[in-house]
Every structure is written in C-alpha cells, then in structure tokens.
A and B are shown apart, each in its own frame.
Chain A
Amino acid sequence: GQQVMQIPQYQHVQEGEDFTTYCNSSTTLSNIQWYKQRPGGHPVFLIQLVKSGEVKKQKRLTFQFGEAKKNSSLHITATQTTDVGTYFCAGGNSGGSNYKLTFGKGTLLTVNP
C-alpha cells in the first residue's frame, strides 16, 4: 500500500534559524496536504498542493510539490517560537470514491528562544 515517509522525526533550532521537513511517497500522489499540530492540540490544515512542481508560500512558510508528485517539502524561514509543533504531510491517492490520505509520521519542531 501507499507509504509516506517524513524526515526528520525531530528538529530543534534556535529562533531565527531556518527549518525544513521532507516527505517522500512510495507512489505517485494526486495531491499533498500539510497540517500543523501544536502541543496539546489537534492537527490543523495548512495548505494543499496539487500540481507537479507547484510552490506555494504562506508568509515565512514555503511548500513545494515535486515534479514527479512523489515528494514534498515545507520550509520555514527565520523560525519563531510560534512555529513550535508537529508538522505532518499527508499524501492523497487518486482513487475516486476510494480516495485516501496517508499521513507521514510528522516532524516535531522545537524552537529555542
């Protein structure tokens, strides 16, 4: 079945440093979604990428979808303490009524002020 690997599992940075998390799928994806879960909270949707090679930005966050639609990355520029949390990617298949999202295990980001 479809597998989504996400690395690194943990990342600790100093405030102001950059951060990147990567996702790789064993199969071609129809779309990829990114979620953020703050400590003690629930995952919250950040963004969705659909097109091959797509790049989207949200303020200091940059999301990329690979040309082959099998990998994706989230890059945060100049991290802040508010960025703390676990970032999950979730890859979608193109199964129509059997559409299914497969989550990576997440990257826990901690930021030292």
Chain B
Amino acid sequence: KAGVTQTPRYLIKTRGQQVTLSCSPISGHRSVSWYQQTPGQGLQFLFEYFSETQRNKGNFPGRFSGRQFSNSRSEMNVSTLELGDSALYLCASRGTGNSPLHFGNGTRLTVT
C-alpha cells in the first residue's frame, strides 16, 4: 500500500506570493489533516478534512485554507506569504475512529 504522498518536497517563495501544497492520502483513507512544524513549536494543527468537508480547524489566520477532492486528495493554500510561514508542512491521513495518523514526508517551505 502506498503511503501518504506530498508534493512538492521543497519550495522557495517570496513574501507576498501564494503557494499551494498537495497531499495524496493512503488509499481508502478519507480523513486528511495538515500540520505546520517549526523548531520549538512542535506540530501545529491547521485543519482536517473528511469527505470533502472541513471537520476541524486550528488557530491559523484566514490566509491558510484547504480543500479536499472527491478522491480524498487534499490541497493546502497559503496566500500573501510572510517570512514566518517558513516551515515544514505535514499532511497526514487516517482511517476511521481513533486510527493513528500516517504522515507524508512533508513540504519544506522557505519564504524569502
């Protein structure tokens, strides 16, 4: 079974630009969550999608948005990038109930 796939692996953007990150979950997983990871801040929850609906949302500004498609693939968008948005963005999928999260390798975003 293929794991969670995130693209691209690395991204360099300039302040003010926008970026879209992609995540393909494990086949059969309908839940996809996004996390931001920066040194010292651990894993900050962005949002979770299930069957194309946002089910939970973290405390991030509206510049951060996401969506999920009918095939469970998910995208995350960050508009008007700021230097502080530089981070590792991790996507994770899971099965039903309290199944564990399966993380992708992440997208390393650098904002200059």
Is B83 engaged at the interface, CB distance under 8 Å to the other chain?
no
Contact between chains at A31 and B98 (CB < 8 Å)? yes
Task: Please count the residue pairs between chain A and chain B whose beta carbons lie under 8 angstroms apart in the complex.
Answer: 50
A52–B105 alpha-carbon span in the complex (Å): 33
B73-109: contact bitstring with A at CB < 8 Å (1 yes, 0 no)?
A: 0000000000000000010100001101111111000
Contact between chains at B104 and A42 (CB < 8 Å)? yes
Chain B residues lying within 8 Å of A35, measured Cβ to Cβ, are 101
A107 nearest CB across to chain B (Å) = 10
Main secondary structure of the interface of B (DSSP, over half): strand
A56–B41 alpha-carbon span in the complex (Å): 28
Is B42 engaged at the interface, CB distance under 8 Å to the other chain?
yes
Tell me the residues in window 16-57 of chain A with beta carbons closer than 8 Å to chain B beta carbons: 30-31, 33, 35, 41-45, 48, 50
Chain A residues lying within 8 Å of B100, measured Cβ to Cβ, are 33, 45, 48
A52 nearest CB across to chain B (Å) = 15
Count of chain A residues with a beta carbon within 8 Å of a chain B beta carbon = 24
Tell me the residues in window 79-113 of chain A with beta carbons closer than 8 Å to chain B beta carbons: 88, 90, 92, 97-106
Tell me the residues in window 3-54 of chain B with beta carbons closer than 8 Å to chain A beta carbons: 33, 35, 40-43, 45, 48, 50
Known: A88-B42, A88-B43, A100-B56. A42 touches B90 (CB 8 A): yes
Is B63 engaged at the interface, CB distance under 8 Å to the other chain?
no
Contact between chains at B98 and A106 (CB < 8 Å)? no
A42–B33 alpha-carbon span in the complex (Å): 14
A48–B92 alpha-carbon span in the complex (Å): 16
A105–B35 alpha-carbon span in the complex (Å): 13
A35–B101 alpha-carbon span in the complex (Å): 9
Residues on A facing B (Cβ under 8 Å): 30-31, 33, 35, 41-45, 48, 50, 88, 90, 92, 97-106
